[in-house]
Structure 1
Amino acid sequence: MTNTMTYKGYSARIEYDDEDGIMTGQIAGIRDGVGFHADSVEELKEAFHEAVDDYVETCAKVGKEPQKPYSGRVMFRVDPEVHRKAALAAELSGKSLNQWAEDVLNRAACGGHPA
């Protein structure tokens, strides 16, 4: 079983550990390894909230800026032919290339369903 939770803009990947009979989570999108675990869904939710709050507080105590959720800026290179086809598809759909790419990435990230 794999699922996700979100709190204060942070997300976590949740997994069930059948061997230990617990659910575990790891805050995603940050370089610091912040994990948590619990026996029930409600306890897991509380543990996740505590992990995020502790992460932000610990960063403040040591004078480190906590990593923020993603900025929304994505830069990547593609083959020029892919770029041409994407630009054409965007224009034909009446959208900017940025809006078209956001829609396509959103559908791909959500398993083919728009979020």
Structure 2
Amino acid sequence: MNNTIMYKGYIGSVEFSEEDCIFFGKVLGIRSLISYEGENAKELLDDFHGAVDDYLYVCKSE
């Protein structure tokens, strides 16, 4: 199993909580804490992509 995902050059971790039955992760290699989650792989990827896009938008606006 691959424990990382990539989008637009950003790498995110992938973990699974048995207690909550949910996938979650955070964007690696940046100072900001950006997390995402999903009940399945598609939801996790969608939330990761949205989190990266939001981060890039905020960075561009500053």
TM-score, structure 1 length as denominator?
Answer: 0.51
- Flag as ranges the 4+ runs of structure 1 deviating above 4 A: none
Q: Cα RMSD (Å) of the superposition?
A: 1.4
Deviations 1:52-91 (A, max 9, x none): 0000111222x1xxxxxxxxxxxxxxxxxxxxxxxxxxxx
What secondary structure does 2:55 align onto?
helix
Q: Greater relative contact order (Cα 8 A, min sep 6): structure 1 or 2?
A: 2
Deviations 1:25-46 (A, max 9, x none): 1000001000000001011111
Between structures 1 and 2, the one with greater helix share = 1
Gaps of 5+ in 2: none
Question: Identity of paired residues, percent?
Answer: 40
Larger-Rg structure: 1
Between structures 1 and 2, the one with greater strand share = 2
TM-score, structure 2 length as denominator?
Answer: 0.92
Q: Counterpart in 2 of 1:44?
A: 44
CA distance in 2, matches of 1:58, 1:19: 33
Aligned residues: 62
What secondary structure does 1:36 align onto?
strand
